[in-house]
């Protein structure tokens, strides 16, 4: 227990030093922290109905006859799906790299982007591939046990004879199983982020070698690691609830500017669809700027989390040196 509380105290002091009292605690650096946190996917403190209401439980509207769209529309939809898929993969890769950039900044005491990002692409790629592998494993863990139960219903849906009374018997176990898999993936991702990444970056090791170091740490101090995970979960839940409450209490402060920006853009897009070529980039740019601002405001939270895990690993394994990465030389350009 002492390792958990002591590391939390060290993390608090480190965050205060980085953002408030240290020699590099400037407004410009705080803004750079926000950019790094946003690109690491750690900012923010973090739909239409498929069926119309006039379906009476019998045949779907159109008597079950689906008219295929024009070939050009099909090609456009496929191209759009592929583009979204590539952008999602690119975003995950950027997140993976910038989590090492954030780690380096917490270690060195200063947000550094240029040289650090180029060095982060190697371990970032390994971290990216690990995330993809975990995601595929989660999909298989969810799909393989559930597909034999859902596939007959999906096939019967094409004939419109789905037994509605049997759906709750499948939906409830499905939700519970998905929640269990998601929880397991979340715990594994937490362990990788908190225990594996420090070994990979500080000791310049591959992700798999760093996982071996982290597993040795877990085997040596299982109780301390378990308490740390529980503390991280509890603190995460409390912080998330506090941020949600704060968002509700200050909704006018951020909702009105968002509506003022997106309202005219959406209205122009609906009234004149060709304007989408201009309004979509503007909406994306406004979203990025908003995410940057939110990440900058909430920067103490991810920096505290990152500092907490570093201090915790160091207390259990003093050979892992922290807070001692050499700072940039005076001649090195700003981020």
pLDDT per residue as tens digits for the range 106-160: 999 899 888 899 999 999 999 999 999 999 999 999 999 988 887 777 776 655 6
- What was the pLDDT predicted at 80? 87
The mean pLDDT value of the chain amounts to: 84
Q: Who contacts 198 (Cβ-Cβ below 8 Å, separation ≥6)? A: 103, 309, 310, 313, 320, 322
Nearest one of 66, 54, 49, 63 to 160, comparing CA atoms: 63
- Domain-embedded: residue 60: no
Residue 227 to residue 4: CA distance in whole angstroms: 7
Backbone angles phi, psi at 52, to 5 degrees: -75, 160
- Domain-embedded: residue 328: no
DSSP state of 317: -
- What was the pLDDT predicted at 170? 81
Give the sign of the dihedral formed by CA 131, CA 136, CA 142, CA 145. Answer: negative
Of 65-74, 251-260, 310-319, the poorest mean pLDDT is in: 65-74
What secondary structure does DSSP assign to 108-138, as a single string?
A: HTS---HHHHHHHHHHHHHHHHHHHHHHHHH
Residue 256 to residue 260: CA distance in whole angstroms: 6
Residue 21 to residue 32: CA distance in whole angstroms: 17
- What was the pLDDT predicted at 102? 95
- Domain-embedded: residue 273: yes
Query: And the tokens for 166?
Result: 């049997």
Query: And the tokens for 148?
Result: 């034999």
pLDDT range class, residue 163, cuts 50, 70, 90: low
DSSP state of 21: I
Residue 107 to residue 28: CA distance in whole angstroms: 18
- What was the pLDDT predicted at 168? 73
Range of 177's domain?
2-44+70-316
The answer, yes or no, to whether residue 56 has pLDDT greater than 50, is no
- What was the pLDDT predicted at 226? 95
Q: How many domains does the chain have?
A: 1
Nearest one of 119, 133, 121 to 97, comparing CA atoms: 121
Q: What digits encode the pLDDT tens for the residues 169-194?
A: 788 889 999 999 999 999 999 999 99
- Domain-embedded: residue 51: no
Query: And the tokens for 114?
Result: 């240029």
Number of helices followed by number of strands (H, E) in the chain: 11, 0
- Domain-embedded: residue 94: yes
Percent of the chain whose pLDDT exceeds 70: 84
- Domain-embedded: residue 102: yes
Of 64-73, 281-290, 291-300, the poorest mean pLDDT is in: 64-73
| For range 243-249, the mean pLDDT | 89
- What was the pLDDT predicted at 43? 81
- Domain-embedded: residue 50: no
The answer, yes or no, to whether residue 313 has pLDDT greater than 80, is yes
| For range 92-109, the mean pLDDT | 94
Residue 61 to residue 46: CA distance in whole angstroms: 40
pLDDT range class, residue 45, cuts 50, 70, 90: low
> Is the model more confident about 67 or about 94?
94
- What was the pLDDT predicted at 158? 56
- What was the pLDDT predicted at 59? 45
- Domain-embedded: residue 203: yes
């Amino acid at each position: 227990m002492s390792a958990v509380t002591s590391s939390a105290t060290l993390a608090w002091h480190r965050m205060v030093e980085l953002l408030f009292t240290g020699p590099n605690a400037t407004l410009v650096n705080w803004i750079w922290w926000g950019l790094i946190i946003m690109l690491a996917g750690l900012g923010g403190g973090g739909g239409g109905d498929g069926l119309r209401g006039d379906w009476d439980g019998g045949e779907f509207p159109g008597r079950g006859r689906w008219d295929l769209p024009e070939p050009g529309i099909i090609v456009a939809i496929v191209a759009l799906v592929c583009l979204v898929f590539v952008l999602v993969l690119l975003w995950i890769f950027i997140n993976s790299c910038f989590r090492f950039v954030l780690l380096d900044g917490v270690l060195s005491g200063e947000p550094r982007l240029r040289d650090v990002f180029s060095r982060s692409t190697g371990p970032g790629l390994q971290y990216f591939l690990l995330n993809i592998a975990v995601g595929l494993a989660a999909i298989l863990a969810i799909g393989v046990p559930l597909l034999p139960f859902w596939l007959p219903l999906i096939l019967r849906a094409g004939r419109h004879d789905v037994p509605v009374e049997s759906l709750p018997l499948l939906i409830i176990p499905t939700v519970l199983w998905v929640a269990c898999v998601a929880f397991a993936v979340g715990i594994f991702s937490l362990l990788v982020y908190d225990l594996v990444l420090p070994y990979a970056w500080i000791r310049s090791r591959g992700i798999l070698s760093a996982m071996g170091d982290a597993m040795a740490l877990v085997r040596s101090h299982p109780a301390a690691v378990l308490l740390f995970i529980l503390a991280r979960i509890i603190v995460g839940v409390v912080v998330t609830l506090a941020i949600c409450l704060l968002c509700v209490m200050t909704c006018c402060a951020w909702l009105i500017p968002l509506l003022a920006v997106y309202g005219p853009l959406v209205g122009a897009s609906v009234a004149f669809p060709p304007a989408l070529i201009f309004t979509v980039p503007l909406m994306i740019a406004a979203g990025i700027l908003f995410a940057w601002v939110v990440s900058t405001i909430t920067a103490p939270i991810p920096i505290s989390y990152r500092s907490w895990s570093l201090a915790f690993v160091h207390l259990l394994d003093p050979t892992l040196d922290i807070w001692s990465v050499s700072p940039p030389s005076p001649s090195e350009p700003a981020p």
